[in-house]
Every structure is written in C-alpha cells, then in structure tokens.
Amino acid sequence: MKIIVGLGNPGAKYEKTRHNVGYRVVDLLRERKPIIRRYSTDFYRAWLVSFESQSVLIVKPQTYMNESGQAVGALLQDFHEEPESLILVHDDLDILLGGLKITARRGPGTHKGLLSIVSVLGRDQLLRVRIGIGQSQITIPRIDYVLSEFEPEEEAVVSQVLERAALACHDIVCLGLEKAMTRWNAEGEANGNGSVKKGIKEE
C-alpha cells in the first residue's frame, strides 16, 4: 500500500505558511477521493482512500515539523509497512516558487522534517514530491521565511503547483515512478516561476 505523507505543522497558526504546502496537498486529495476509513492517533491523522481501485493512505502528521520522524515511524509500525511505501510531500527552498520535482535518490538537505524522518528510519533516500517555495533572494532568516504566509500575489502560483503535486502523487501510484518523473519533472520546471536553482544537481 502506498502512503502519501504531507509534511507540515499542526494548528491554525501554521495553516497558511510556506512550510505547510504538504498538508495542503493532502487536503486536496481528501476533498477529491472518497474516504473509506479514518484513523486518528496522537502522532497522525490518516485517511484510507482509493486511487483507481488501489488502496492509498493519505496522512497529516500531528507532530511539529522537526519531529516528523516520530509520526512517520509510528505510522509505519501501526500499518506494518516499510519505508518503500512512503511518498513524502513537502516544501523545498532549493526550488523556486511554483516548481515541482519528484525525487527518489537524493538526501534530505537541511529540511528539518526530512532530517527527523531520516534519523528515525535510518535511510536518507526516500521518494519525495518537492514543492518549490524558494525565491532568487531571501533576505530574512530561512526559518522565518518558511514560517511566513504566502503573499496574496503568490497564491495563484501556489494553487497551481499544489494541483500539480496532487496529480503527481496520483501518477506515482497509478502509473509508476518513472512515468511520473518523466511527466512531472519536465512540467514542474516549465510552470509558474519554478525551476531548480542553478548548481543543484538532480540524481
């Protein structure tokens, strides 16, 4: 069973921040897929849905971002699944706003949520859908930037990339990783303001 985990911080305070785009993708999927079953623990909220007859679990951790590993570790243990089942959806400062990249063979970089997951699972190459939130120049500390809300003029670009991220998750499940990467990595660089920053090499 595939498990789509949208990373973010719980609570209304963080709902519209840049760090919570993973949560927003899960919300899109919840709205569009019939929910078969709901699960709720101290560590996560999860919904069992169907992608073209395939069972898929979509998840919002209830730990804060830098403790995401606790939620993901508990999730895999509860459902007797392996890390290979995971599709992690998260914000990425190394991709410009509006860009999208599917990655399967890249380390976590400095993303606190990913670092926590890697620490708990003991592996650093996980399947991820990376949503660009970066700018060519960021003049405030990174932590302040990711915890800030999008500007009104950015929301149209954000809405489009969230739609593409939800469709990319669907394609990973239904078409397979290689076909999804071929489609969405090319489109992700062509849409909106999005492109991977120069100097960042994708494996």
0.85 cut: is pTM over it?
A: yes
Would you kindly state where each structural domain of the chain is located, as residue ranges? 2-190
pLDDT at 89 (0 to 100)? 98
Q: Which CATH class is domain 2-190?
A: alpha beta
Q: In DSSP terms, which residues pair with 196 in a beta bridge? A: 95
CB atoms within 10 A of CB 82: 9
Q: Is the model's pLDDT at 62 over the cut of 60?
A: yes
Helix H, strand E, coil C: the string for 10-32 is CCHHHCCEHHHHHHHHHHHHHHH
Quick check: 197 pLDDT over 50? no
| Amino acid type, 148 | S
The bridge status of strand 86-96 relative to strand 128-134 is parallel
Please tell me which residue in 19, 90, 111, 170 is annotated as part of the active site: 19
Q: Is 19 labeled as catalytic in the residue annotation?
A: yes
SS3 63: coil
Q: pLDDT-derived band of residue 199, with 50, 70 and 90 as boundaries?
A: very low
